[in-house]
Amino acid sequence: MDFASIRLKEFIRTHENLKHAIAGAGAGVVSSIVVVPLDVVKTRLQNQGRVQPGDPIYRGTVGTLSRIWNEEGIRGLYRGLGPTIFGYLPTWAIYFTVYDYCKAHWGRKYEGSGHEWLIHIFSAMTAGATSTSLTNPVWVIKTRFMTQNDKTPYHYNNTIDAFRTIAKKEGIRGFYKGMGSSLIGVSHVAVQFPLYEKLKSWFAQHQATSGNTGILLASALSKMAASTATYPHEVIRTRLQNQTVKPFKYKGIRSAFKIILEEEGYRGFYKGIPTNLLRTVPSSALTILTYEVIVHRLDALKNS
Domains of the chain, first to last? 9-184+234-303 (1.50.40.10)
Over its length of 304 residues, how does the chain's per-residue pLDDT go in tens digits?
443 444 445 545 555 667 777 787 788 778 878 889 999 999 999 999 988 888 889 999 999 999 999 999 999 999 999 998 888 778 878 888 898 899 888 988 887 777 777 888 888 899 989 999 999 999 999 999 999 988 899 999 999 999 999 999 999 999 999 999 999 998 887 788 788 888 888 888 875 555 677 877 888 888 889 989 999 999 999 999 999 999 999 999 999 999 999 999 999 999 999 999 988 777 877 777 788 888 888 877 777 6
Q: Residue 5's pLDDT is what?
A: 45
Buried b (16+ CB within 10 A) or exposed e, 182-211: bbbbbbbbbbbbbbbbebbeebeeeeebee
Q: Residue 89's pLDDT is what?
A: 79
Q: Residue 87's pLDDT is what?
A: 85
Phi and psi for 80 in degrees, rounded to 5?
A: 85, 5
Q: Give the angle subtended at the CA of 230 by the CAs of 229 and 231, to the nearest 5°.
A: 105
- Distance in angstroms (rounded) separating the CA atoms of residues 189 and 125: 7
User: SS in 3 state form for 191-232?
Assistant: HHHHHHHHHHHHHHCCHHHCHHHHHHHHHHHHHHHHHHHHCH
The CB density around residue 303, as the number of other CB atoms within 10 Å, is: 9
Q: Residue 205's pLDDT is what?
A: 81
